[in-house]
Structure 1
Amino acid sequence: MRIFRAFSALLSYPTEDFVAALDEIGEVIANERLVPARERAALLDLVHDLRGCDLYDLQERYVLLFDRTRSLSLHLFEHVHGESRDRGQAMVDLRALYEANGLVGAENELPDFTPLFLEFLSTLDPTQALPLLGEPAHVFTALAERLHKRKSPYEAVFRALTAIAKVQPDEALLALLRAEPDPEPDDFEALDEAYEDAPVDFGAPAGDSCGRDGLAAKLRQARRPAPGVAQSVKPPTTFTYSPSSQAAEADRHD
């Protein structure tokens, strides 16, 4: 599904190649009827906004939003597991899901990085991709709300993702995300507090929605074949995703 590859590109660190591909990305969005009309229009506004900005400004804005604001992290398990021990197992499970479907990811990027996750979905049949897309719907909704507060056009991507998934986010999980701190990138004191290491909870109950029964468990279940159906194994595919290298770029421009 090309639309997921377009979303992946829009949420990746801006490069010259990305800017050169904006017309193609806009064409994919304009022709994709899976995206409702309102969300499609907002996505095209985002493409127009990106096309009209200097590359350096795009990079600076991206870093301030997604690298220096923990509440806007593009790493899904940052919002699902935080610093708990379940996060490591969730990473292992998600990478195993990629590999089970013949996708070899970039080793220098964590598997829960949203552009990488979306690139993976682009390789699947819609009947496989859409249920997986719905699992982090509460995360996408929270990110959309936080970006809306900042009047960021990137909100359009997360609104479109939740619209395509056609699922209602878990209200209890969404409430927890809404209650978390959401400091601005220039509020350094609040950012320091947000990035303080949280104690690891080794006694989380088995039914904790942020533990093994949460997104990671559902992703594990998604890769199991249905009863009586043999699991097809695709030959490994070289994954062509280009890592964002945001931190390196940020250091270079600071």
Structure 2
Amino acid sequence: MSGGPGPRVHAAVLQAASVCLLYPDDAVLAALPLVRRTVDELPPGAPRERLAAFLDHAQSVAPGELGRHYVSIFDTRRRCCLYLTWWTDGETRRRGSSLAALKARYRAAGVEWDSTELPDFLPAVLEYAATADLTDGLALLQEHRAGIELLRLALLDADTPYAAAVEAVCALLPGPSPADVAAAKALARNGPPREQVGLDLLPFPTARTPDAEIGATR
């Protein structure tokens, strides 16, 4: 979409992907028809096609089934981690500094973080980009491109419809998505501690409560 659609389209894609990647509680399910209308108004391209594919699935299964699937993918699989600094820092002291720096980055853009959710939660980063600072948000996603691409590959490997929402985000970022894990890791300018990004040696992050909200507010 580079060189064509402008900021409004980019923001719409990021906001739609943010909602799609949240735990499908009642509020999220109620928002899906609005997300669908937004996606249907997007210009043709990979982001629209991939988001529509996810929404087709989400609206064709029972709410309880979608929720159980979400938990089985994101709360039990290390390689399907939605927390961006986990991919770069693992469970190290450096991650705490990265999270603090991210909160400060939000604050500089006028966003005060008041959620129990961690600020590196991918749906929260997407919402920040879509509603607070698109330029910085896209830069932030690009800085974490390797982790996002590794997440995309893991979701494709898990054969989950949630892969489509992440593919939509990756399609907004410069250059083609890497085809395999080795190529995704090569995107990182500085690897995580001991080059263990995405490996089972990294402890699994604390499980997120399903009813947690993004909580980034002006």
The reply to whether TM is greater than 0.5 is: yes
SS at 1:83 equivalent: coil
- 1:196 & 1:41 partners in 2: Cα distance? 32
Residue in structure 2 matched with residue 23 of structure 1 by the alignment: 33
- 2:133 & 2:82 partners in 1: Cα distance? 24
- 2:42 & 2:68 partners in 1: Cα distance? 30
* Bigger Cα Rg: 1
Contact 1:134–1:167, Cα closer than 8 Å, also in 2: no
Return closer, same or farther for 1:94/1:194 CA change in 2, 3 Å cut-off: closer
Which of 156, 163, 169 is the matching residue for 1:155?
163
| Offset at residue 151 of structure 1 (A) | 1.3
Which of 52, 59, 63 is the matching residue for 1:44?
52
- Would you identify which runs of 4 or more consecutive aligned residues in structure 1 move more than 4 Å? 167-170, 174-179
Return closer, same or farther for 1:79/1:153 CA change in 2, 3 Å cut-off: same
TM-score (norm 2): 0.76
TM-score (norm 1): 0.66
Residue in structure 1 matched with residue 180 of structure 2 by the alignment: none
- 2:37 & 2:163 partners in 1: Cα distance? 19
Q: What are the superposed Cα offsets for residues 160-188 of structure 1, whole Å, 9 maximum, x if unpaired?
A: 2121021466616499577623xxxxxxx
Residue in structure 2 matched with residue 188 of structure 1 by the alignment: none
Residue in structure 1 matched with residue 151 of structure 2 by the alignment: 143
Q: Count how many residue pairs are aligned between Structure 1 and Structure 2.
A: 189
Which of 125, 133, 139 is the matching residue for 2:141?
133
Return closer, same or farther for 1:177/1:54 CA change in 2, 3 Å cut-off: farther
- 1:53 & 1:166 partners in 2: Cα distance? 34
Residue in structure 1 matched with residue 19 of structure 2 by the alignment: 9
Contact 1:137–1:167, Cα closer than 8 Å, also in 2: no
Residue type matched to 1:51 in 2? Q
| Offset at residue 124 of structure 1 (A) | 3.6
Contact 2:91–2:203, Cα closer than 8 Å, also in 1: no
Percent of pairs identical after alignment? 28
Q: What are the superposed Cα offsets for residues 197-219 of structure 1, whole Å, 9 maximum, x if unpaired?
A: 9xxxxxxxxxxxxxxxxxxxxxx
Return closer, same or farther for 1:39/1:107 CA change in 2, 3 Å cut-off: closer
Root mean square deviation, CA, Å: 2.7
Return closer, same or farther for 1:88/1:156 CA change in 2, 3 Å cut-off: same
Unaligned ranges ≥5, structure 2 = 1-10, 177-183, 213-218
